[in-house]
Structure 1
């Protein structure tokens, strides 16, 4: 507050008109308002998180009342049209406000199963819809993968045949997928002194998906009556980088195939399951491995390990 007063005194002494003084006062007020909003959010988030963790019967009442009160009354009142203090609920608070997850998917789970050449029958009975992760090796369809790498993506991009629905630059400077795939060849080849990078994108354009399916197919063990979702997810990057801890908001459980390189997955149970399940799991994925994971209930982060570029392709199933 002392710094604000000092700036105001200087403005007043230098001001040529009253507008500059009034603008400074409004800015100082908005900063104080933002701090107050953050304090309220933090307090409410703590109460709601504590209710979720302890399994309080009042959780749904508390979360519903808070959400309605915030979006219908408090948010509009506090914003007052001031852009400096947005009142939309941040991601972390949306996670706290989501309905509690049934922890049966992780109770008793001590390690991630690894199964070789899994059959469709075994997958459907034991893993497909249980929420329990599994790593599959030796799937015949993945063994037929050919030519899917950085050069193919780059060539498709230059030919305007690689249309992305979503693009994730993560910590890179690339603003678009086209820009990322047009990076310096030495950087893409991991030559000494290269700058690390990691990107991801989804493909939902039918023609683009059909082109990619010439090089990689969905796992053979997916349920026969499952409706394969046309969207593909691709993640690619250098050692030491990956996606931060997060939870997804997608429609169905996911599969992700490690085509090249290696990647470490860290899985974490949601807050409400901390006292019922093992909290964290780690699993290393090598080329030829497929991980099945419901990313809507498992928090997860990834890190490329080893010496090579990691390339993964994934999709959803119902």
Structure 2
């Protein structure tokens, strides 16, 4: 039989944790989370309240990411489905995207492709994080000074699901699924693009079906991770950073995570899942 009193206390701790992380971790109030369009799904707190209790073994004694270099698919099998934070150094340095992806690459593609913006109305989520940009069209209509984060301009950072078939086909000519991931892994049909300056993502969990990988194409990025609230007493928060050419792998369903970008740097990442 479910102990309702215990469940209420657990839910209260979770909601307090979200509020604390939102305010102290990223300087961001929960009220803003609830009111900001496209920042987080409206049922985020319902998901958090009904999330299964985690087994804290996933984070015990973890205080930094595992760093891998020159990893092969065979060697990566040991780590493939781990929940521990992992950085694979210089894993995508050969991607064309490293040299050729810019803000204007995507601006041209979306402006020249029929129905490009409409694809975001049919299940491909746009995330404006803490910026005042509420659609991808808003992003690509920014004046040049703001696009390039010139002095006096408001920083911006956005992300979206890249699911227009024609655009997806074209951008995939610049990158590929990391070769070290399991050959029999399942991958979604789309990838996500995140780019911008300084702001990054607020502290949150992802409610996705698979593990996450993210390729750092441009700029540096700092990740702040924290265990779920029921594991606070045995696990730790910590920060780490990635550089262009690196891949981050993280079970974002179990680790709260936020990102920040060094002042003045432009960050661009490609992100997807595998499982």
User: Fold match, TM over 0.5?
Assistant: yes
The alignment status of 1:183 with 2:156, answered yes or no, reads: no
Alpha-carbon distance change, 276 to 152 in structure 1, aligned in 2, over 3 angstroms = same
Q: Which gives a bigger RCO, structure 1 or 2 (Cα 8 Å, sep 6+)?
A: 2
Q: Within 5 Å, which residues of 2 pair with 1:60-209?
A: 91-92=44-45, 94-125=47-78, 127-139=79-91, 141-146=92-97, 147-160=100-113, 162=116, 163-164=119-120, 165-209=124-168
Structure 1 alignment gaps of length 5 or more: 1-42, 53-88
Counterparts of 1:91 and 1:174 in 2: how far apart (Å)? 21
Contact 1:198 1:238 (C-alpha < 8 Å) held by counterparts: yes
The corresponding residue for 1:267 is 225
Q: Which has the larger radius of gyration?
A: 1
Counterparts of 2:7 and 2:94 in 1: how far apart (Å)? 47
Shift of 1:119: 1.5
- Alignment partner of 1:154: what SS? helix
More helix by share: 1
Please give the TM-score of this superposition, normalised by the length of structure 2: 0.79
The corresponding residue for 2:194 is 235
Counterparts of 1:103 and 1:307 in 2: how far apart (Å)? 38
> C-alpha root-mean-square deviation of aligned residues, in Å?
2.2
Contact 1:133 1:291 (C-alpha < 8 Å) held by counterparts: yes
- Alignment partner of 1:170: what SS? coil
Please give the TM-score of this superposition, normalised by the length of structure 1: 0.69
Contact 1:262 1:306 (C-alpha < 8 Å) held by counterparts: no
Residues paired across the two proteins, number = 236
Alpha-carbon distance change, 178 to 119 in structure 1, aligned in 2, over 3 angstroms = same
Alpha-carbon distance change, 264 to 51 in structure 1, aligned in 2, over 3 angstroms = closer
Counterparts of 2:127 and 2:7 in 1: how far apart (Å)? 27
